[in-house]
A = this chain, B = another copy of it.
Amino acid sequence: MTNTTEKLLPMAHAAQNRCFGCGPANPSGLHLEFLLAEDGSVVCLTTVPDNFEGPPGYVHGGIIATLLDEAMSKAVRARGLVAMTRKLEVEYPRPVPSGAAIRLEGKILSSEGRKHWVQARILNVHGSELAHGKGLFIEVRPRVAALIGADPG
């Protein structure tokens, strides 16, 4: 599913991180592991198990939103920034099957001060887009970033 010409570097995930989306220390989380592409976008190759389904066989709409939110958050994080979601818009053109390999991508569209507009999408193994979204993320001040830890997910 990875393009053989693309270079992807693993992003650090703190072992004690309990984030539902990306925390290795959360036993019931999604355990998403992101890779950083040369253009600053992020990629995650994953398979969502059936305990995150809505209708049988398909990933819950809220979990799809979680996948996209995580990809957007990590795209901001890849710039060394800690930010919180202020607004999230998700479109669901096609259902996302559970138990099937998917590719999750996120990238920053534009930034203005502490505001970052970000987009993300989910593709199947054939490269077809199953869901996509946009988000507005607001950088948290260093004092808050310290309070919520170095890897808030």
Q: Which residues of chain A have a CB within 8 Å of any CB of chain B?
A: 18-21, 26-29, 50-58, 60-63, 65-70, 73, 84-92, 95, 148-149, 152-153
Contact = CB atoms under 8 A, between A and B. Distances in A.
Contact of A66 (B26, B62, B85): B62
* Copies of this protein chain in the complex: 2
Q: SS class of chain A's interface: helix, strand, loop or mixed? A: mixed
Contacts of A68: 62
Contacts of A95: 84
Contacts of A28: 28, 51
Nearest to A88: B90
A68 B62 CA distance: 8
Nearest to A52: B20
Nearest to A89: B89
A49 to B, nearest CB: 9
Contact of A53 (B20, B27, B50, B85): B20
A36 to B, nearest CB: 20
Contacts of A50: 18
Contacts of A87: 89-92
